[in-house]
């Protein structure tokens, strides 16, 4: 999948999250209703990033609100990364591209509040990343193969890491690349969230040892599971099989010869 396709897919995924955030009750403040109306109009128009929706006077007339209410609504839109006011002669309310960061932070806080266990984290990662491997393997092309091999090199040498693993101090570029190659922006977002939570609960050595085997659990997570008395079967590491040296660390389902 092309990078531009992934970007638009991420924007569509974030769009549903934004609309959920603006699903206001009838008793909500007027500014919240206006923000919800503007966000809905942006989604219906295909989320045209960079397009100016209108000047402040134009939008005051369009949404029939006072200047103070409108500016409160703009503040909400800016907070959620939906749109922002641009000053100057050609200024106005400009559509922006949400990055999913606010959703990621909210999800992490919620899971922290729920006291998600180490075993829960790794079980969920196994399920989601196994699906990512399956989807990526269905339409893997030469460009994707190059990305996979480059990500393995970057994970071995953190100083060479690209922006792909931004926000993840211990690397894991491979996991994010496979999530991208799945073509599913929701998978990419959840892999990002789960990696962040995993890194916060475990040290770099423990995370790398377990996660790079694509299914193994750190000793602490295994103890956590036994202590909870769960009887679910743990998925073991994916088989490595024979592969060129350049593919070491790449999931077996995505390996290629040559």
pLDDT at 6: 43
The first and second tokens of residue 82, run together, are: 């939906």
The first and second tokens of residue 111, run together, are: 């899971």
88: burial class by Cβ within 10 Å (0-12, 13-18, 19+)?
Answer: exposed
Domain closes at, from 77, 95, 113: 95
Per-residue pLDDT tens digits for 194-247:
988 888 777 555 555 544 444 444 455 455 555 544 444 333 333 333 334 445
Reported as half-sphere exposure (CB side, CA atoms, 13 A), residue 76 has a value of 23
CATH number of the domain encompassing residue 23: 1.10.10.10
pLDDT at 236: 37
Contact 118, 201 (CB under 8 A): yes
83: Cβ contacts below 8 Å, ≥ 6 apart: 38, 42, 53, 74, 77, 93, 94, 95, 96
Same domain, 165 and 76: no
Question: Taking Cα atoms as reference points, which of 208, 206, 230 lies closest to residue 219?
Answer: 206
Same domain, 177 and 105: yes
Residue 25's domain comprises 3-95
Please tell me the distance from the alpha carbon of residue 33 to that of residue 222, in angstroms, as a whole number: 48
The helix or strand, by DSSP H or E, that contains position 3, with its residue range, turns out to be helix 3-21
Contact 148, 137 (CB under 8 A): no
The first and second tokens of residue 45, run together, are: 């128009």
Predicted structure pTM score? 0.61
Domain closes at, from 95, 126, 152: 95
DSSP-derived secondary structure for 82-139: SEEEE-STT-EEEE----SHHHHHHHHHHHHHTT--HHHHHHHHHHHHHHHHHHHHHT
pLDDT at 207: 53
The first and second tokens of residue 3, run together, are: 């990078």
Same domain, 110 and 188: yes
Question: Taking Cα atoms as reference points, which of 173, 180, 176, 174 lies closest to residue 255?
Answer: 174
| Positions in the chain whose pLDDT score sits under 50 | 1-7, 210-218, 221, 228-246, 256-258
Number of domains in the chain: 2
Same domain, 27 and 139: no
């Amino acid at each position: 999948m092309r990078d531009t396709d992934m970007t638009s897919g991420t924007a569509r995924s974030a769009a549903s999250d934004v609309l959920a955030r603006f699903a206001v009750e009838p008793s909500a403040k007027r500014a919240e209703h206006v923000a919800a109306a503007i966000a809905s109009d942006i989604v219906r128009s295909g989320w045209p990033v960079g397009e100016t929706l209108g000047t402040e006077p134009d939008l005051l007339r369009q949404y029939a609100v006072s200047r103070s209410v409108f500016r409160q609504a703009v503040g909400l839109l800016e907070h959620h990364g939906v749109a922002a006011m641009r000053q100057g002669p050609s200024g106005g309310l400009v559509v922006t591209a949400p990055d999913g960061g606010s959703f990621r932070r909210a999800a992490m806080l919620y899971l922290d509040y729920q006291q998600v266990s180490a075993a829960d984290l790794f079980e969920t990662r196994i399920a989601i990343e196994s699906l990512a491997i399956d989807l990526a393997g269905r339409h893997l092309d030469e460009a994707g193969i190059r990305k996979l091999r480059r990500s393995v090199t970057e994970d071995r040498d953190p100083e060479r890491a690209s922006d792909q693993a931004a926000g993840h101090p211990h690397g894991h570029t491979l996991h994010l690349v496979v999530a991208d190659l799945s073509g599913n922006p929701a998978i990419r977002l959840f892999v990002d969230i789960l990696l962040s939570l995993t890194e916060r609960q475990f040290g770099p050595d423990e995370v790398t040892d377990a996660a790079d085997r694509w299914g193994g659990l750190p000793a602490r997570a295994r103890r956590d599971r036994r202590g909870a008395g769960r009887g679910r079967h743990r998925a073991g590491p994916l088989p490595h099989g024979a592969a060129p040296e350049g593919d070491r660390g790449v999931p077996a389902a995505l390996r290629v010869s040559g």
